[in-house]
């Protein structure tokens, strides 16, 4: 009998190859994790969808900064909330408020590109993974929520939406 050609011996050899291959992959992943942990401005995603909680576009951030400067209030934030109503069942609500009005137990503040947005826990559950943008069109200029992974449909107004089941 030739060594290495029996069923048991081949399985043992294959097991060793898998273990070695697994160790190489583990080392590669560990190296990447060490790099990521030391990279500046890296945000780890902890939600189950592996999406950022909220993305603020540079255009939205620019408008938020402009509003703070116009109001001469560096503590001004945009509150993004989801309310019942609108054409499709839920609607996005946007209001400006001062940092002093934030409930630290219920609210999450996002600061990207210098634009600051606050979202309450319930609303965050309904918009997680969405993008906040600022659109300028002939008809209107406004903040809009785009790419909401929890929305199945929306209205032409861009403010209301319905949830996926």
- For the chain, which residues make up each domain, given as ranges? 1-42, 54-163
Residues 28-47: pLDDT tens digits?
A: 545 444 433 333 333 334 44
Helical ranges in the chain per DSSP H: 7-38, 58-71, 121-127
Residues paired with residue 112 on neighbouring β-strands, in sequence order = 115
pLDDT of 48: 54
Decide: pTM greater than 0.75: no
pLDDT of 45: 41
The DSSP symbol for 161 reads E
CATH top-level class of 54-163: mainly beta
CA angle 10, 12, 13 (to 5 degrees): 65
Q: Please classify residue 84 by burial: count the beta carbons closer than 10 Å to its beta carbon, then call 0-12 exposed, 13-18 middle and 19+ buried.
A: exposed
Banded pLDDT at 8 (limits 50, 70, 90): very low
pLDDT of 11: 52
Residues 74-133: pLDDT tens digits?
A: 999 999 999 998 777 899 999 999 999 999 999 999 999 999 999 999 999 999 999 999
Q: How many CB atoms lie within 10 A of CB 35?
A: 10
| In contact, 150 and 163? CB cutoff 8 Å | yes
């Amino acid at each position: 009998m030739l060594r290495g050609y029996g069923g048991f011996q081949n399985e043992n050899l294959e097991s060793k190859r898998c273990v070695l291959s697994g160790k190489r992959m583990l080392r590669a992943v560990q190296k990447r994790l060490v790099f990521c942990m030391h990279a500046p401005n890296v945000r780890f995603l902890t939600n189950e969808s592996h999406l950022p909680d909220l993305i603020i576009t540079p255009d939205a951030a620019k408008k938020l900064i402009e509003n703070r400067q116009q109001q001469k209030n560096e503590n001004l934030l945009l509150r993004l909330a989801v309310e019942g109503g609108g054409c499709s069942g839920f609607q996005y609500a946007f209001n400006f408020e001062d940092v002093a009005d934030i409930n630290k137990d219920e609210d999450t503040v996002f600061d990207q590109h210098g634009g600051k947005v606050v979202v309450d826990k319930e609303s965050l559950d309904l918009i997680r993974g969405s993008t906040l943008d600022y659109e300028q069109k002939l008809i209107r200029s406004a903040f809009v929520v785009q790419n909401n992974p929890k929305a199945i449909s929306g209205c032409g107004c861009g403010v209301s939406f319905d949830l996926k089941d």
